[in-house]
A and B are shown apart, each in its own frame.
Chain A
């Protein structure tokens, strides 16, 4: 964390773009503190705080007595907010982050105004590829979340599936669902690659049931690296993943050879660095996963009735209090926030979530 702070300070104060103006800052941030990107989830994880899984959803972690507790109101969050307040004052965070949406944050990133961003493994694919194309000297590296001492544990969802297909038992041909799944795998093969065009009636996201291979990115990583190590000119795999693996392999080859006839340097680099590089986006994610350095968000499924009823209200309260604290409000506002959060329905939500967890959850 201290090292991160030093680097961020350098980005802020040492005029990295050498234009003689004090117009750069350290860490990208937009107005939604817990979002899908350019937000603070990763930062809070660094303090052992797990407030949110993003997209305005609270995170639930296992407390000491096997009960689920909301990460949002734990004391670690306060410590982290204190740090943010200091960073804001120091100029490491954009003074007007509360006015910026994700598009603005990305603009700054591509324009070279900001040097660090918390985010997802696929950032090289977008928006960092544009930064590389704009400034050939741009050099982005992926790092594990820094913690207070040593690397931090990332928060991940317990269950990722978001769609279930069921077949009515009265259906005449229940096997059709399975056949369709197999068909999807079949048309993914190499020999159909040139046929799978919208003009031929193939629009892949119209196809239901489409299966998203939970290990698709890992397959790309493994297969591309295998082919690279064996110095192959062509990948070996031939199934539903053929196209994605082949695309990454091609981009990697092009990137290494400096070939920009098919795509720009940024796009090639983006595919390579997010999916294939050992120290890149997925490479690092894989290491983190294999070394068990993550914490589960234990709550999943539909929101409980009180979350539906009071969730928007509580989220507004959080955005308002946290933003004000970061921008220089009193840190004790956090304690007031916790009290209001509990009183305005939070306590009820805690009970409902735990009841669901005890009766229905897969532990």
Chain B
């Protein structure tokens, strides 16, 4: 009872946050009922006809669905793995730089693209890779044939993944750097006394030291297993690369926006959320079981 009295102001301060979450995160969940309805905007949620699993059936049997799901998985998983690996390597390298100002500069430069929105960056990347852009200029000066990167299925997916990893790598890098700084420096000193080189130190001190953070980032990332980057692809794709880059989100966008099929669009949204929840639960459990690591 005593502790409650002490903590009461803290609980009161929590209330606004809880209310906002209830209104904007839990409230709209009621709209998921759309996924089971033949939704008509004029009739609304209460008068639209219930059709059970029809919307799901319809979407899963669309001829393109398999390919779209495959594209989503390939793009999302590659992005996920790379956006853990690349920042990790960057963080390890940056940690070895002894000149403070130089490390700071590189760190900022890597972090910068994170703040740009895809609406802007998408246009920039299209320009960079266009026929008259600098990359084709370089290719031409080497005496090779210009390549239409953005219109070629074999290049486009790579550009999507590469640019996304490049844009986001600064964020995870900072988190990992912070974790590395948190490692007790006496450990390194002890290792040096024992004759461990830089490489051994990384392997036996740094990596184990930041593994909780890496697991945390992986768990958070796995929830997005079906998020292959809607904004980015919407900005950059075109009909010639549908084959390799049309993902669930862009597919649903066209379904919902252009064909006004709200029911099926909501069904896909729900499907995505269920898979995400499943994946997050599995990784969370795995992290706990094998590494004795918990977030909550």
Q: Which residues of A contact B (CB under 8 A)?
A: 23, 31, 56, 95-96, 98-99, 308-309, 311-313, 315-316, 319-320, 323-324, 327, 344
Contact = CB atoms under 8 A, between A and B. Distances in A.
B275 to A, nearest CB: 23
Contact of A96 (B64, B130, B243, B260): B130
A31 B240 CA distance: 10
B239 A312 contact: no
Contacts of B58: 309
**How big is the B interface, by class?**
20 to 34
B239 A308 contact: no
A31 B261 contact: no
25 contacts: A31-B238, A96-B151, A98-B151, A99-B130, A99-B150, A99-B238, A308-B260, A308-B261, A309-B58, A309-B261, A311-B259, A312-B254, A312-B258, A312-B259, A313-B62, A315-B258, A316-B64, A316-B242, A316-B254, A319-B239, A320-B239, A323-B238, A324-B240, A327-B151, A344-B63
B81 interface: no
Contacts of B131: 95-96
B252 to A, nearest CB: 10
A327 B261 contact: no
Nearest to A312: B259
A96 B148 contact: yes
Nearest to B241: A98
B181 interface: no
A98 B260 CA distance: 25
B281 to A, nearest CB: 34
Contacts of A316: 64, 239, 242, 254
Given A95-B131, A96-B148, A316-B64, A56 B240 contact: no
B10 to A, nearest CB: 50
B160 to A, nearest CB: 14
A34 B243 CA distance: 21
B63 A320 contact: no
Interface centre among B151, B242, B259 (most CB of A within 10 A): B259
B126 interface: yes
Interface of B: 58, 62-64, 126, 130-132, 148, 150-151, 238-240, 242-243, 254-255, 258-261
Nearest to B126: A99
Contacts of B259: 308-309, 311-312
Contacts of A99: 126, 130, 150-151, 238
A338 B84 CA distance: 45
Contacts of A315: 258
Most buried by B among A96, A99, A319: A99
A319 B238 CA distance: 9
Contacts of A95: 131, 148
Contacts of A323: 238-240
Given A312-B259, A320-B240, A23 B254 contact: no
A295 to B, nearest CB: 26
B54 to A, nearest CB: 11
| From B130, B151, B261, residue with most partner A Cβ within 10 Å | B151
Given A23-B132, A99-B126, A313 B240 contact: no
A311 B150 CA distance: 26
A313 to B, nearest CB: 7
A56 B258 contact: yes
Contacts of B255: 312
B64, B238, B261: most-surrounded residue (chain A CB, <10 A):
B238
A313 B239 CA distance: 12
Contacts of B150: 96, 99
Nearest to A315: B258
A249 B246 CA distance: 51
**Most central of A312, A313, A320, A344 by chain B CB within 10 Å:** A312
A311 B238 CA distance: 18
